Amino acid sequence: MLTIKPSSGPHTGSAIGVGSIMRQVIYALLPATAFGLYLFGWPAVNLLLVTLFASLAFEALCLKLAGKPAIPALKDGSALLTGWLLAMTLPPWAPWWIGVLGAGIAIVLGKQVYGGLGQNLFNPAMLARVVLLISFPLEMTTWADVTPWLTESAPGFYEGLTITFTGLSNPDAVTGATLLGHVKTEWLQKHPLSESLSDFGTLNMWLGMARGSLGETSALLLFAGGMWLLLKKIITWPIPISMLASVAVISGLFHFFDPERYLSPVMHLGSGALMCAAFFIATDYVTSPNTPLGQIIFGSLCGLLIYMIRTWGGYPEGAGFAILLMNSLTPLIDHYIRPRIQGRDRRGRPLEEKMIKGER
Amino acid sequence: MLLPETYKKLAGEGLWHNNVVFGQNLALCPLLAVTGTATNGLGMGLATLVVLVCSNGLVSLNRHLIPAEVRIPVFVLLIAALVTLVDMTMNAWLHEMHKVLGLFIPLIVTNCAILGRAESYASKNPVVLSLWDGLMMGFGFTLVLVLLGAVREIISSGTLFANASLLLGESLAFLETTLIPDYKGFLLTALPPGGFIALGFIIAGKRLVDRRFAARTIRETAGQALTES
């Protein structure tokens, strides 16, 4: 969060604006989203559309109340992206009002009350997800079975509408636990990992053929999308790499010493919200630190918190909580770790004259 | 009711313009801690109201006796004695309410709004005016507590003044209402962050009303000036 106002002097315009960045991020999300829609069928399509539409509607409403022009802000796609990210983290068969309420919390409470795009302290999509998780634990942890499109078990169009708008009639028959949730409940009954993991395959988990949030199941497709963003220079490497590396290193250490209690790094990286959070959520420009060193600290502490919450916390997944906690530390990180000012050293003292002369 | 100008002004200050919460942003700790339901807010508000009126009265009565150098400790002692009385009274006759509000009743001692009124008003003004000031400030505080409690209770559980008869006495049973039957509940508003969020929106609403009034006053005075000229 930069608070410096540009002074006089030559400034050059950038070819990429907010709109094109948001578009690129949505392109990068498309593969994982499309796969999620394929896996979970019409109810997931309904939920995604409802959430996107509600985000745009809330954005327009807030801008109108604030007396600002709505069309330019809607066109830049930031509200669309917030709604998209939120929908990706929701359980795919969640009822419609979860999407609408979540979009309202993200846009109104997470973004517009602070003054709109660029002013918010917390990532709006994660804020909404955590509010929903705390307030509606039942709806937010009902994970639909994988029922790919065009297979027999997939719900039809009308059945999809019924699931989204009136709720599941037989939740126990068509839902189950995610890998992280299953492992957590099994461990509470003192079952070692070799027993509790027997139903879950590592390859399916990385591909995404597993229960989970709408767009978060496929670690591979999310990783590919993230790599594309890195190539396009929309995001930089410090946050995602430090976050994934810290989870991998910590989980590797614990797994090495007690493989029956602690999940392996392969499992940790491939499941839950980690991949989506590392590339698409923690890298939010507004709520992450400015300097590469600050970003590495931010990313590795995010990873540490995720691992701690997953392993010892009350919830099976902690990406949302971890990112919100680190968002609140971002101003502090930016206060202590600043970019070097031109003509001064890292501590802000002027460079010695002969050094400047020598440079000439 | 015809009131002299001073009393009207004091009432306006206490209830709206200089309201303990809206105007001074004081007493936020008990405000956020006990307003999970409207009933709790009402109980806490009334307890604070009693302490505030009595402390204003006592401070004003003794304002010529208290040496200026040690006035704050004396005020605190007076307030502490009053709070102890209220605490024991509630424990005896409103035991259920006392159990719910718990620690926050003794903590009225540290409610900065009470010391604030003693210092800034009661120590400089006659007894009757100070009593009136305490009453209005206390009412203003109670109103905000009940309002915030009601908003949080309605959103979090769909009821209003639940358990009022249990906590405040059988005569208040008529207050208990269920506004939204079969409501699943929105837990966040009952939790501390929900208190902060709801308070933020209520304060923003108050500012909005103030701005509308100011704009209207400007328009009216401008209109008068035009017709006069």
CA distance B208 to chain A (A): 12
Residue A350 CA to residue A132 CA, distance in Å, equals 50
Domain range spanning residue A294? 184-339
> Does residue A219 share a domain with residue A165?
no
Identify all chain B residues contacting A136, using CB atoms and an 8 Å cutoff. Answer: 184, 186-187
Q: Are B31 and B152 in contact (CB under 8 A)?
A: no
> Does residue A235 share a domain with residue A283?
yes
Identify all chain A residues contacting B200, using CB atoms and an 8 Å cutoff. Answer: 113
> Does residue A188 share a domain with residue A159?
no
What is the rounded average pLDDT for all residues in chain B?
A: 85
CA distance A87 to chain B (A): 20
Question: Does a structural domain hold residue A347?
Answer: no
Q: Do B187 and A109 touch (CB under 8 A)?
A: no
Question: Does a structural domain hold residue A6?
Answer: no
Identify all chain B residues contacting A109, using CB atoms and an 8 Å cutoff. Answer: 197
Q: Backbone dihedral region of A345: left (phi > 0), alpha (psi from -120 to 50 degrees) or beta? A: beta
> Does residue A167 share a domain with residue A32?
yes
- The H-assigned helical ranges of B62-120 are 71-93, 95-101, 112-120
User: What's the ipTM?
Assistant: 0.78
- pLDDT tens track for A125-182: 999 999 999 999 888 888 888 888 777 777 888 888 888 888 777 777 778 888 888 8
- pTM, two decimals, is 0.85
CA distance B177 to chain A (A): 23
Q: Who among B187, B197, B200 is closest to A135 (CB)?
A: B187
> Does residue A221 share a domain with residue A150?
no
Question: Does a structural domain hold residue A56?
Answer: yes
> Does residue A86 share a domain with residue A111?
yes
> Does residue A31 share a domain with residue A166?
yes
- pLDDT tens track for A154-168: 788 888 888 888 877
Q: Do A134 and B187 touch (CB under 8 A)?
A: yes
Question: Does a structural domain hold residue A11?
Answer: no
> Does residue A27 share a domain with residue A172?
yes
Q: Do B187 and A113 touch (CB under 8 A)?
A: no
> Domain count of chain A?
2
Residues of chain B with pLDDT > 70, as a percent, come to 96
> Does residue A168 share a domain with residue A222?
no
At A198, the pLDDT band (50, 70, 90 cuts) reads confident
> Does residue A65 share a domain with residue A99?
yes
Picking from A7-11, A157-161, B19-23, B57-61, which range would have the lowest pLDDT averaged per residue?
Answer: A7-11
The residues spanned by each domain of chain B are 5-228
Q: Are A305 and A322 in contact (CB under 8 A)?
A: yes
Residue A334 CA to residue A295 CA, distance in Å, equals 9
